[in-house]
Amino acid sequence: MKTTGKNPQGSFGNVSQQATGYYTLRFAGLFNLPIPLRFAFGIGVSRRKFLMKNFLSIALTVLLIFSINTKAAAAGLFGPPQTVSKEAGGLNTAIGYWYHEDTYTNGADHIIRQNEIYSQAAYGAKNIWEIYARIGVSDLKIFDVFRSADASTTTYKNNFEENWKFFGTLGAKGFYPINKTFGIGAFIQGTCYFSNFTDDVAGTNGILPGISPFTTDLKVKNLFDVNFGVGFQATVPYGTKLYAGPYIYYSEAKISLAANIPGLEYAAGNVSVENKSIAGGFAGIDIPLAKGFRLNVEGQYSDRFSAGAAVSYTY
């Protein structure tokens, strides 16, 4: 009996479902599940054929959604498109460091800088998919955010600095091998910070003889980012993986000053800031070391350059 993935009686019944590939079989039972669900459970659908027919559509759909809705951060390595877990399925862990620079804007532009240290646990299989989670700590520096635009206000420092706040990251990636050397993959990765970044600033305001000292603090709250990208990979001798590709991203935070100070850019109350750029490119290399260890080095560029490295172990 020949089984087809398209129901001729329902070909024009639900245009939105057809547009996203949600065709159902005309037979009852498990084979009546939508193809994406049958693919996930391994029921009657070839994973290779599914990826070949739907990968580009999925990637372009997500890219379009993000392009329309993004305001703009990239946090941490994206890694090679292909999982480093064993083909039969298994765990891999990593320890990494990431140096991140970007430009945030809300009227005025401010360069931000972060140093992140994290630990990662991931599970992948079939050499085509992986899910991962990270926990780490990060600092935050915002340049010239305390610089006064009013000659009557003087601050004792210009830059915001706060150290070591915890963050968490979740991500997933899928990969399609074109041949033994080349392949293409896609990923999505999101990061959120569990607490606020806070820094104090002191200075004086007024004109002689009415100069008054002040002290206030600036808070950066609800900082998060989401990234989506497509990566092209080449596997060269000794299992080394070279990869590169484009990505788009969204990042946002709320900034509030404890008191209104003339000349300072931010006022009391929450003000949203976001990345100046919404897209960038990344490239990296993943090198096998010894006894299950690998070294991953990567660079990213959007409005500014970021880079980092991680050492992983495959169980």
The residues spanned by each domain of the chain are 18-69, 72-314
pTM (2 decimals)?
Answer: 0.74
Model pLDDT, residue 56? 45
Please spell the DSSP secondary structure of 17-70, one letter per residue: HHHTT--B-SSSGGGGSBHHHHHHHTSS--HHHHHHHHHHHHHHHHHHHHHHH-
CA–CA separation, 195 and 133 (whole Å): 18
Instruction: State both tokens at 183.
Output: 């392949």
Per-residue pLDDT of the chain (315 residues), as tens digits, is 444 444 444 444 444 444 444 434 333 344 444 444 444 344 454 544 544 445 444 444 444 443 333 333 446 899 999 999 999 999 999 999 999 999 998 878 999 999 999 999 999 999 999 999 999 999 999 999 999 988 889 999 999 999 999 999 999 999 999 999 999 999 999 999 999 999 999 999 887 677 899 999 999 999 999 999 999 999 999 999 999 999 999 999 999 999 888 888 887 778 899 999 999 999 999 999 999 999 999 999 998 999 999 999 999
Task: Output b/e per residue, 204-218; b: 16+ Cβ within 10 A.
Answer: ebeeeeeeeebebeb
CA angle 122, 128, 131 (to 5 degrees): 25
Query: How many CB atoms lie under 10 A from the CB of residue 89?
Result: 12
Is the C-alpha dihedral spanning 37, 41, 42, 46 positive or negative? positive
Answer for the pair 148, 154: CB distance below 8 angstroms, yes or no: yes
CATH code for residues 72-314: 2.40.128
Model pLDDT, residue 208? 64
Model pLDDT, residue 121? 97
If we measure between CA atoms, which residue out of 274, 273, 281 comes closest to residue 305? 281
